[in-house]
Structure 1
């Protein structure tokens, strides 16, 4: 068994540390910030508590499997509740809002009420989504791609033609084959945004995501998403993980090549890990020796900052040809009084979606106006996140991944472009949802911009989610989870396989264990670990 250092205390780093300790390794986890959680953080003021990142609990079977690997269950660790409606959709033209239910049959009826024949077409669409999701879960999501031979299975070969088609055709064109009404197309195309992409750039393979919200439903952990972080931290420490906060890794130490587990095949490494150099909050430095280093920090930061160029598997020239996904302006609002016009999750879709995405991903990037924005009102479900008689709002405005847009601040004190985007979003919610006095009722206001993502989590280009899931950045074409230049250096998190989102980060932690075990299977590991 190895001495392991895990870099980064977000969900991927914590999950990796917990699994490796369970597997018998000696594990130290180092986190540069004072608090754990990374993007899945928390902020409090005047009785309001805000989740500062992920807010959709999807793919519950992935969470269940992860906790069972550690000898417990999601039911034992979390207090989950089903949201109904799962979310509400507002559109720019002022049409009546559309509610997406936790019940498939209600959603079939809703689609039929918007467009004749769309109900049964939705049923067929979601059948395909479920089939594709099951195949992805069984053959791709839990694969390290260390060997492609396990992918050559009968179920994959039978669907080879379909899979090629789903990879070659963008999601928006796939949706347009079955649905005409623009709002229905937006509902089915929006999952691309969860993946850091857009419907015209994400492969139609990702129509599988619609199975998650339209058929399975959306859950919420009472107490907020910080309870997930707390649960995994608790399990990691119970397993013996030593957690060091206020500890920034400044260098991955290497030495002559030796035998190290988990290396990538077909490549001759130039060095082997020896540990990391850590700078504490008081400026003092120390060395943590290790046989294996797992970086759950941003992969761009790990490769281009913590390693010399000669040892970089993914040098800057590689990133110059890649897509960082969107940035975001986040707005956390404490609001006086109730807001019945909004539900737990609300989506506001601009009419000209293409112009929206061109503003974010096109040749002349700028903050879109009006933007297609996301609003979370967890106080509808969870009284612990806001004082009585008030509401908690978390607003996400997708913007280009560009740190020069600036940083946020308290009470309008952030950089001008960030605060302008926040003002526009508040006015948009007020107008589209029919809350004309929203701005006057704000008690607490905090903004976060792309510059904050760089400062807080070392995000490449200020990206809010991670590298976009385009066809060139999906599955085995995404950054792998092991260095080809440094033996014993592995990766976890949203910027490596399998990708963006809390469930994907939990899977990435499991893939580290599989890599160290030289496990090339494509299915989840046996429970418990």
Structure 2
């Protein structure tokens, strides 16, 4: 593929004539965007600053253990399948999915018996009834409402860039306006609390707020739709972990002709003044450096920033061309940070299921510490802290040596880089290791594994400083900007620059939001802009026939850039 193309001139804010694209960032959103654009006929080059692809959905190996370094929940399976079908394949063809039963286990600070969710709605209704008489019937109504909200979101809101009000206002939406409006203005905490009395059940239904980078009292009740995914649909796991999912994205991108450059650090998005009397600049390409320090320029008439949006805007564009300058981010909520632990443990841990949660009684204090007050001030690390544990070795024998367990621990903390960075074998910064030690002790006590610390044979920690240094994550955020009302749906940062023609965005920082399914949808939103498609729903499938896919492990093509 020749990189000596001449950027195409376009009318203002019109990317429908794009012939070539450079995608900045090789995470899930970047890989998905590159694959879709290439399948649609564009010449695409992807730049990833690290040697490893996947971004937050990375992988780390040591002593026979293989850890997914980030995402661990496979939710909204229809979104994954739809993405694959756009490329002429399917989730069934690409992934070996296992249904988890139990879906997850929850340990509570002040209750001896844990709670377990199951695969079917009926079983979960029984679980709720056993905790609170009458809660089963309430759950039925709750999930029925969540199902309808989810349908409306998929059909009208998630697959749109909100370019015009008319793109999402239609007869179906208007028919449900009286239901949707209160769900946007009411908090999830209030909505759940009005239907369930037992605090344990409230926590189960409020926990999805964490997936959205928020707290139950700070995100709209509309996000009750999240409970449909685990309590009605069931929870799935791809064998090989999420590294296997990333491998499929890499293979699909390469099969469609994407040139992938790793060790490629973008340094500037280049532009030229617009024509026809317009003062609006247009993208001309991206300047970047390779591992040897060689400076390269890749010309293109479309640039997609699929890296952290704060970094793309404030570091790769001059101040005059920033749609979201530093002053914008001062007023935004970065969502939570995290301390992550990757633990290799000797012996079995039946006390933990594939997914296990540890909920403190004073939940409000936890969220207030992690997220701060309404202005994002006065943050602190809560003690004790609620946490999440994933034990993929319960389902996947390939992630740990025989006779050992693979344990991933996530402790939400403030998105604050001053908390420091992690390391191996306790060598991280003191605050990060202190938080990690407390999490290990909590799991040992609450789950009844008193010798847990002594059985750890591999230990690595990651802190907010690592998210900032390795992923350019704004403020060291774990997930991306939280989904409070002012950062959700049509209020979220848009996926097109207001000041540079031909510059689009994808990933967790922009529409539609946080999570792997949202990153896949964000890639499709880029494609819809390139096609000039403003419909509210997903694209018809399939639009492309998948070429013969290369085997996993295919070498990345050699550098194809134009030297600066």
Which residue of the partner structure matches residue 262 of structure 1?
none
Structure 1 residue 161 displacement after superposition: 2.0
Cα RMSD, aligned residues only? 0.9
Task: Indicate yes or no: 2:228 matched with 1:211.
Answer: yes
Which of 541, 550, 559 is 1:527 aligned to?
541
Contact 1:269/1:484 (<8 A) preserved: no
Deviations 1:184-241 (A, max 9, x none): 0000000000000010101100000000000001000000100111001001101000
Deviations 1:88-120 (A, max 9, x none): 000001330000001111110010010010000
Which of 316, 331, 334 is 2:341 aligned to?
331
> Tell me, what secondary structure is at the counterpart of 2:333?
coil
Which of 455, 464, 468 is 2:482 aligned to?
468
Which residue of the partner structure matches residue 434 of structure 1?
448
Contact 1:269/1:487 (<8 A) preserved: no
Whole-angstrom distance in 1 between the partners of 2:279 and 2:292: 35
Whole-angstrom distance in 2 between the partners of 1:161 and 1:328: 38
Which residue of the partner structure matches residue 5 of structure 2?
none
Contact 1:138/1:522 (<8 A) preserved: yes
Whole-angstrom distance in 1 between the partners of 2:307 and 2:210: 22
Whole-angstrom distance in 2 between the partners of 1:279 and 1:164: 48
Structure 1 residue 284 displacement after superposition: 1.2
User: Is the alpha carbon distance of 1:100 and 1:270 closer, same or farther for their aligned partners in structure 2, counting shifts above 3 Å?
Assistant: same
Structure 1 residue 150 displacement after superposition: 2.4
> Tell me, what secondary structure is at the counterpart of 1:97?
strand
Task: Indicate yes or no: 2:329 matched with 1:319.
Answer: yes
Whole-angstrom distance in 2 between the partners of 1:228 and 1:367: 33
> Tell me, what secondary structure is at the counterpart of 2:459?
strand
Which residue of the partner structure matches residue 380 of structure 2?
366
Which residue of the partner structure matches residue 494 of structure 1?
508
Which of 513, 517, 522 is 2:527 aligned to?
513
Gaps of 5+ in 1: 260-267
Whole-angstrom distance in 2 between the partners of 1:94 and 1:108: 20
Which residue of the partner structure matches residue 263 of structure 1?
none
Deviations 1:67-101 (A, max 9, x none): 00000111101100100001000000133000000
Structure 1 residue 276 displacement after superposition: 0.6
Whole-angstrom distance in 1 between the partners of 2:347 and 2:381: 30
Which of 31, 34, 49 is 2:48 aligned to?
31
Task: Indicate yes or no: 2:162 matched with 1:145.
Answer: yes
Which of 336, 352, 362 is 1:342 aligned to?
352
Whole-angstrom distance in 2 between the partners of 1:235 and 1:125: 38
Structure 1 residue 258 displacement after superposition: 4.5
Task: Indicate yes or no: 2:91 matched with 1:74.
Answer: yes
Which of 247, 253, 266 is 1:230 aligned to?
247
Which residue of the partner structure matches residue 436 of structure 2?
422
Whole-angstrom distance in 1 between the partners of 2:36 and 2:123: 40
Deviations 1:337-375 (A, max 9, x none): 000000000000000000000111123211111111000
Whole-angstrom distance in 2 between the partners of 1:299 and 1:472: 17
| Dislocated runs of 4+, deviation >6 Å | none
Contact 1:258/1:272 (<8 A) preserved: no
Which residue of the partner structure matches residue 363 of structure 2?
353
Provide TM-score, normalisation by structure 1.
0.98
Contact 2:273/2:279 (<8 A) preserved: no
Whole-angstrom distance in 1 between the partners of 2:537 and 2:198: 38
Whole-angstrom distance in 1 between the partners of 2:181 and 2:542: 35
Whole-angstrom distance in 1 between the partners of 2:275 and 2:183: 42
Which residue of the partner structure matches residue 492 of structure 2?
478
Whole-angstrom distance in 1 between the partners of 2:469 and 2:169: 43
Deviations 1:476-526 (A, max 9, x none): 110100001000000000000000000000000000000111110011101
Whole-angstrom distance in 2 between the partners of 1:243 and 1:221: 24
Contact 1:254/1:271 (<8 A) preserved: yes
Provide TM-score, normalisation by structure 2.
0.92
Whole-angstrom distance in 2 between the partners of 1:480 and 1:360: 26
Whole-angstrom distance in 2 between the partners of 1:94 and 1:341: 15
> Tell me, what secondary structure is at the counterpart of 1:90?
strand
Whole-angstrom distance in 1 between the partners of 2:239 and 2:262: 26
Whole-angstrom distance in 1 between the partners of 2:522 and 2:408: 27
> Tell me, what secondary structure is at the counterpart of 1:365?
coil
Deviations 1:43-75 (A, max 9, x none): 000000000000000000000000000001111
Which residue of the partner structure matches residue 12 of structure 2?
none
Which residue of the partner structure matches residue 157 of structure 1?
174
Which of 272, 282, 285 is 2:292 aligned to?
282
Which residue of the partner structure matches residue 241 of structure 1?
258
Which residue of the partner structure matches residue 265 of structure 1?
none
Task: Indicate yes or no: 2:32 matched with 1:15.
Answer: yes
Whole-angstrom distance in 2 between the partners of 1:163 and 1:242: 43
> Tell me, what secondary structure is at the counterpart of 1:180?
coil
Structure 1 residue 179 displacement after superposition: 0.3
Whole-angstrom distance in 1 between the partners of 2:400 and 2:379: 36
Which residue of the partner structure matches residue 301 of structure 1?
311
Whole-angstrom distance in 1 between the partners of 2:293 and 2:38: 29
Task: Indicate yes or no: 2:420 matched with 1:406.
Answer: yes
Contact 2:57/2:242 (<8 A) preserved: yes
Contact 2:57/2:243 (<8 A) preserved: yes
> Tell me, what secondary structure is at the counterpart of 1:486?
coil
> Tell me, what secondary structure is at the counterpart of 2:241?
coil
Structure 1 residue 165 displacement after superposition: 0.5
Q: Which moved more, 1:357-366 or 1:235-244?
A: 357-366
User: Is the alpha carbon distance of 1:310 and 1:108 closer, same or farther for their aligned partners in structure 2, counting shifts above 3 Å?
Assistant: same
Which residue of the partner structure matches residue 443 of structure 1?
457
Which of 118, 125, 149 is 2:135 aligned to?
118
Structure 1 residue 283 displacement after superposition: 1.1
